């Protein structure tokens, strides 16, 4: 089968190649899926050069998220039948014609979603749900400021916050991205995400500041966010796409009465399995009801994986890039 295989950890993804590899066989409790679509995520890029916390033994096949049809069942994988349409997330292995995943880690593909949309939503929307519902406990009419709003996770947060009834301010770095967000998701406001945004946020919120700030960027964006968050607000730390991990003087949350909350959706599910299952069921129900709509920026053949990776590195992606094995 065709697969994007990593044989060495090198800069510029030089150790990754499109290769012919054996079709994997499902073990006990596992399912083999004929992959119809695989999403590109930043961890996929980082893992090709060994810069991610997870370092699979070499060689390995890239790819976290996928959609497809059940192709073979391992012993004990009784919850699925051949031909079932599923979505799932592995730590790696999805960028191939076939992948093997634990049966318990798969779920039925929402019928409303295309194969490409189904591959695009599991990780991003789960992160957004854990952040906004579990950690921030967003309620209708609260102001939610989303940084990096054009990215996969940021766009999911915009979409989900609207579904929760929040008033949403989407911050993005370019006019093209802001226009696309406004057209497709119609948040209450779309603003320039570069430093200097705090006065605009205060203006939009009547001077109070944002009740919830979703920050996958860090660096200067985090620093300025502490100056436009409402009293009693929740500043959600999602990641550090800027490359700088910020530091915070504790007098700021003391004086302004806000909380800084770290968000790790996967770890949340591992720590609280029942709530983790509820989270997944909730986003699947929203997708099935048409209340959330993942956005696919581009669909490419697996052979064009370098272009897909480059799109993320150039930070031009709105939503997700999808590869078709």
| 131 plus 113 within the same structural domain | no
Answer whether residue 282 is part of any domain. no
- 225: confidence class by pLDDT, cuts 50, 70, 90: very high
CB 251 within 8 A of CB 150: no
Helix and strand tally (H, E) in the chain? 11, 16
Which of 230, 251, 267 corresponds to the end of one domain? Answer: 267
Answer whether residue 284 is part of any domain. no
Supply 2's token pair. 């065709």
| Structural domains of the chain, count | 2
- 79: confidence class by pLDDT, cuts 50, 70, 90: confident
Supply 131's token pair. 């952040």
Whether pLDDT at 211 is above 90: yes
| 115 plus 182 within the same structural domain | no
Q: Which pLDDT value is given to residue 242?
A: 85
Answer whether residue 281 is part of any domain. no
| 85 plus 103 within the same structural domain | yes
Q: Which pLDDT value is given to residue 154?
A: 95
Residue 22 DSSP class: P
Answer whether residue 318 is part of any domain. yes
Residue 282 three-state SS: helix
Which of 221, 248, 267 corresponds to the end of one domain? Answer: 267
Which of 219, 248, 267 corresponds to the end of one domain? Answer: 267
Residue 102 belongs to what H/E stretch?
A: strand 98-102
Cα dihedral 302/153/33/68 (nearest 10):
-80
| 90 plus 193 within the same structural domain | no
Answer whether residue 224 is part of any domain. yes
Residues 11-38: tens digit of each pLDDT:
999 999 999 999 999 999 999 999 999 9
| 210 plus 80 within the same structural domain | no
| 135 plus 211 within the same structural domain | yes
- 73: confidence class by pLDDT, cuts 50, 70, 90: very high
Answer whether residue 207 is part of any domain. yes
| 27 plus 84 within the same structural domain | yes
Percentage of the chain modeled with pLDDT above 70: 100
| 163 plus 236 within the same structural domain | yes
Q: Which pLDDT value is given to residue 243?
A: 83
| 99 plus 127 within the same structural domain | no
List the alpha helices (DSSP H) in 19-76. 42-47
- 52: confidence class by pLDDT, cuts 50, 70, 90: confident
Residue 172 belongs to what H/E stretch?
A: strand 167-172
| 158 plus 115 within the same structural domain | no
Q: Which pLDDT value is given to residue 53?
A: 79
Residues 94-149: tens digit of each pLDDT:
999 999 999 988 999 999 999 999 999 998 999 999 999 999 999 999 999 999 99
Q: What is the CATH number of the domain that holds 187?
A: 3.40.50.720
Give the range of the structural domain holding residue 147, as residue numbers without chain letter: 123-267
- 89: confidence class by pLDDT, cuts 50, 70, 90: confident
Query: Cis ω on the peptide bond leading into residue 152 (within 30° of 0)?
Result: no
| 115 plus 22 within the same structural domain | yes
| 89 plus 185 within the same structural domain | no
CB 86 within 8 A of CB 4: no
Supply 231's token pair. 């009293």
Mean pLDDT of 291-303: 95
Residues 252-284: tens digit of each pLDDT:
999 999 999 999 998 999 999 999 999 999 999
Q: Which of 319, 313, 325, 324 is nearest to 297 (CA)?
A: 319
Q: What is the CATH number of the domain that holds 32?
A: 3.90.180.10
Answer whether residue 290 is part of any domain. no
Q: Which long-range contacts (CB under 8 A, 24 or more apart) does 221-227 make?
A: 221/147, 221/193, 221/195, 222/246, 222/248, 224/195, 224/196, 224/197, 224/198, 225/145, 225/147, 225/198, 226/252, 226/253, 226/256, 226/258, 227/198
Answer whether residue 289 is part of any domain. no
Residue 138 three-state SS: coil
Supply 92's token pair. 């790696």
Q: Which pLDDT value is given to residue 29?
A: 95
């Amino acid at each position: 089968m065709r697969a994007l295989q990593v044989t060495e950890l090198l800069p510029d993804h030089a150790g990754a190649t499109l290769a012919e590899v054996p079709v994997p066989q499902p073990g006990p409790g596992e399912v083999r899926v004929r992959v119809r679509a695989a999403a590109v995520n930043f961890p996929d890029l980082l893992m090709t050069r060994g810069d991610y916390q997870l370092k699979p033994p070499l060689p390995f096949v890239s790819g976290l998220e996928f959609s497809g049809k059940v192709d073979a069942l391992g012993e004990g994988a009784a919850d699925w039948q051949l031909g079932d349409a599923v979505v799932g997330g592995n730590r790696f292995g999805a960028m191939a014609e076939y992948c093997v995943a634990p049966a318990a880690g798969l779920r039925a593909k929402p019928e409303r979603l295309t194969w490409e949309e189904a591959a695009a939503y599991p990780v991003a929307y789960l992160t957004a749900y854990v952040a906004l519902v579990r950690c921030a406990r967003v309620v209708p009419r609260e102001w939610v400021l989303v940084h990096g709003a054009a990215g996969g996770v940021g766009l999911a947060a915009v979409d989900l916050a609207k579904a929760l009834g929040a008033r949403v301010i989407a911050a993005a770095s370019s006019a093209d991205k802001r226009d696309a967000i406004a057209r497709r998701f119609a948040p209450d406001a779309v603003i320039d995400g570069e430093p200097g945004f705090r006065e605009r946020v205060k203006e939009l919120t009547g001077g109070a500041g944002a009740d919830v700030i979703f920050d996958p960027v860090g660096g200067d964006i985090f620093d300025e966010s502490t100056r436009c968050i409402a009293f009693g607000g929740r500043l959600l730390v999602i990641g550090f796409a800027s490359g700088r991990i910020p530091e915070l003087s504790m007098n700021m949350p003391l004086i302004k009465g806000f909380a800084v909350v770290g968000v790790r959706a996967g770890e949340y599910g591992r720590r609280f399995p029942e709530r983790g299952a509820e989270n997944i069921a909730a986003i699947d129900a929203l997708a099935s009801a048409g209340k959330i709509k993942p956005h696919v920026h581009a669909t490419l053949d697996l052979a064009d994986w370098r272009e897909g990776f480059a799109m993320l590195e150039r930070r031009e992606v709105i939503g997700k890039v999808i590869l078709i094995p």
